Amino acid sequence: MIEIGGLIIPPAQRQRIEIPVARLPTQTLITLPVTVINGSHTGPILWLSAAIHGDEINGVEIIRQVLQKFLHLY
């Protein structure tokens, strides 16, 4: 079981969540999109992160491609 952003993702599940991080003066909510793939067995955890700096966009596409490889599993 993985818990992130107050949500629990059970084993052998994949879930996309939006974690609220801030609210603009216009009351627009800013969220952090997170895709969690929880394997069916316990083991090591891998964290992939991209676009920490706004002009570093290549990592976003790399992570998208990695997630596509796991689509058929969960």
Instruction: List all residues 6 or more positions away from 17 whose beta carbon is below 8 Å from its beta carbon.
Output: 4, 5, 7, 33, 34, 35, 36
pLDDT at 3 over 70: yes
Instruction: Report pLDDT for 74.
Output: 59
Q: What pLDDT digit, counting tens, does each position of 15-71 carry?
A: 999 999 999 999 999 999 898 989 888 889 888 888 888 788 899 899 889 888 877
DSSP secondary structure letter of residue 9: E
Residue type, 50: A
